[in-house]
Amino acid sequence: MTAWHFIDGVWSEGNPGIMGPMTHGSWLASTVFDGARAFEGVAPDLDLHCARMVASVKTMGLQPLHAPSELVEIAGEGIARFSKDDALYIKPMYWAEDGWVDVDPETTRFCLSVYESPMPDANGFSATLSPYRRPSVELMPTDAKAACHYPNSARALREARGRGFENSIMMDPLGNVAELATANLFYAKDGAAHTPVPNGCFLNGITRQRTIKLLRDAGVPVYERSLTYGEFLDADEVFSTGNYGKVQPITRLEERDLQPGPIYARARELYWSWSHGSV
């Protein structure tokens, strides 16, 4: 895997060591990051990902060292180091070097990575209900894309895979569906799409927001509301949105086989057309 990293004003290749055993980010979890994509010569919503990066930095009490536009510029430099046909992941990241439990914002550091990451095939994946839940904003900094959230996602994935599934659907603290362990979630029923309303326990994903707008502009009803797991079990189709795979179908939910349906297909088609400037 080819990877380039912009740190301390220069580009480095490979996997450079950037944290030590006393670094706050490595042992007290002050690390925040974001993820964007470049593929097929486009980098959709890169500006929004960079703006969210700055918002996450502020949420965690770190010092925002760059404006979103500066992050876009640095990311563009990294993308230019690859072929336009390469599928890339773009990851800006901030953390504190020092602090006593809380961060010392004056010690904020920054790295932006661009590396090869193939887009997953849209062949579908299986999902099951997780016994683990998403926390509320009173429990965790859920309004930031923070590394400290991911151990919870990891244990949900581990538990699901132990039962023969590829991903897990997680509830919010009240028992409503929140999202997958790795992406936002939709179901379709009777020609309309439904997705959990953002309630502070999961990020309102940028690809999620884009997909909702594209579907609505195309005349497909999309309802954001509190959803039960039973509604997903009874759905005509289920699909996910997220930066890593963009729009992906779920083809098995518990023991029920599903086929990618027309609303999923429309969402994926609209996203690809929009990202390439055709919508």
What pairing do the DSSP bridges indicate for beta strands 222-225 and 256-257? Answer: unpaired
Kindly report the length of the chain.
Answer: 279
- pLDDT at 231 (0 to 100): 98
pLDDT in tens, 151-169: 999 999 999 999 999 999 9
Closest by alpha carbon to 79, among 6, 19, 170? 6
DSSP string of 147-183, one letter each residue: GGGHHHHHHHHHHHHHTT-SEEEEE-TTSSEEEESSS
pLDDT in tens, 52-83: 999 999 999 999 999 999 999 999 999 999 99
Closest by alpha carbon to 70, among 58, 57, 54, 88? 54
Instruction: Classify residue 105 by its DSSP letter.
Output: G
Residue carrying structure tokens 């599934």: 165
Q: Per-residue pLDDT averaged across 204-210, rounded?
A: 98
Q: Which residues partner with 3 through β-bridges? A: 115
CATH topology of domain 3-116: D-amino Acid Aminotransferase; Chain A, domain 1 (3.30.470)
CATH 3.20.10.10 in the chain: give the residue spans: 125-275
Q: Which CATH architecture has domain 125-275?
A: Alpha-Beta Barrel (3.20)
CB 90 within 8 Å of CB 104: no
- pLDDT at 278 (0 to 100): 72
% the chain with pLDDT above 90: 99
pLDDT at 279 over 80: no
Q: What is the pTM for the complete model shown?
A: 0.96
- pLDDT at 1 (0 to 100): 81
pLDDT in tens, 230-251: 999 999 999 999 999 999 999 9
CB 59 within 8 Å of CB 30: no
CATH 3.30.470.10 in the chain: give the residue spans: 3-116
pLDDT in tens, 90-139: 999 999 999 999 999 999 999 999 999 999 999 999 999 999 999 999 99
Contacts made by residues 74-79, CB under 8 angstroms, sequence distance 24+: 74/6, 74/112, 75/36, 75/43, 75/46, 75/50, 75/112, 75/114, 77/6, 77/11, 78/4, 78/6, 78/11, 78/112, 78/113, 78/114, 79/38, 79/43, 79/114
pLDDT at 215 over 70: yes
